Amino acid sequence: MKPAHLCLVAMLFALGAARATAHPLAPALLDVTEMTDGSLAVVWKVSVFGLPGAVLRPALPADCRPTGRPTEAQDAESVTIRSTVRCDGAGLVGREIGVDGLVAGKSDALLRVTLADGRVVKSVLRAAAPRLTVPERDRPFDVVRAYAALGFEHIMTGPDHLLFVFGLLLLVGGGRLLVRTITAFTVGHSITLSLAALGLARVPPRPIEVGIALSVFVLAVELAREARPTPTLMQRAPWAMAGVFGLLHGLGFAGALAEVGLPAGEIPTALFAFNVGIELGQLCFVGVVLVAASGLARLAAPRLVGARWIPVYAMGSLSALWCIERTLAVLPTW
């Protein structure tokens, strides 16, 4: 058997423990817009699947006060609070805005500030840097840094996407075939991500999430097949399968990008940076798996015998659970 299996088992169950639910824990979103009358329109969106003990709060300048009662709306995945705020100071340039309560490695937040002059400032906030000082002018590479971080964050906190990459590693092992297969997956999701981000492809997000879970399940079923004299199409051309399913995963990636939007005048740069962030995360993930597998092969090779089916069945079980949960979320409530 392949030495990567035991490593994949450990990482698979780590993912399952981190995300017992099929719903992704999306980053919080703080959207602040300067209005013509000097007030601020504030939108605060946070996932209903919060971390135990973590209370996230938007942090505005101390002299800002609400001017009315906020409105609240909730759906199956998030709570959105809208409010109007007025500050004593003039404008937001040079002032700090952020999110309190972020937990290192577990919760991040997207910040979008629209200034009165139409300029949009965006950033990914983390526990190490939970505040942003609104700059007087755009700084070089701000867009690249923000959107690359967003792409990296999305792939690394998406257990379904990572589990699909797990399956590709199990299916093809390493070498040139792995490079071709991962490249095909990359090309596939880059195409649909770009089309969706530019408004050329519009698909409801929940059916896409069902399809992504189903792609992981189909891959698990293929891995569970006994060896046959005649290889299946997926075994003969795994790169083709990866490319087709990559088209589906790209629509899922576009959902995260839709949350924060693309900056006017910087759309190609932001889209490219987001794709780069996804690929960096994917490469880091594959690299960690391969390095860990190599180490385990040296330390515990005899114990790996007989463990071949464990990661396959675990992968199939988890993806089947996601399929059921996400399908139920799509169906109307009776």
Query: Phi and psi (nearest 5°) for 317?
Result: -65, -45
pLDDT of 17 reads: 41
DSSP 303: G
Average pLDDT over residues 244-248: 93
Contacts of 271 (CB under 8 A, 6+ apart): 147, 193, 194, 197, 198, 257, 262
CA 250, CA 315: separation in Å to the nearest integer? 21
Q: At what angle do helices 205-224 and 159-172 cross, to 10 degrees?
A: 30
pLDDT of 33 reads: 92
Contacts of 261 (CB under 8 A, 6+ apart): 112
pLDDT at 161 over 50: yes
**What burial class does residue 136 get, using C-beta atoms within 10 Å of its C-beta: 0-12 exposed, 13-18 middle, 19+ buried?**
exposed
CA 74, CA 72: separation in Å to the nearest integer? 7
- Gyration radius (Cα) of the chain, Å: 22
Q: Residues, the chain, total?
A: 334
Give the pLDDT band of residue 117 (cuts 50, 70, 90). Answer: confident
pLDDT of 154 reads: 83
pLDDT of 20 reads: 43
In this prediction the pTM is 0.74
pLDDT of 124 reads: 81
Query: Phi and psi (nearest 5°) for 189?
Result: -75, -25
Average pLDDT, rounded, for the chain: 80
CA torsion angle 234 239 241 246 (round to 10):
160
Average pLDDT over residues 160-181: 87
Q: Evaluate whether 116 touches 91 at the Cβ level (below 8 Å).
A: yes
pLDDT at 163 over 50: yes
Q: Let me know the angle formed at the C-alpha of 25 by 271 and 4, rounded to the nearest 5 degrees.
A: 85
Lowest mean pLDDT among 94-108, 208-222, 245-259, 292-306: 292-306
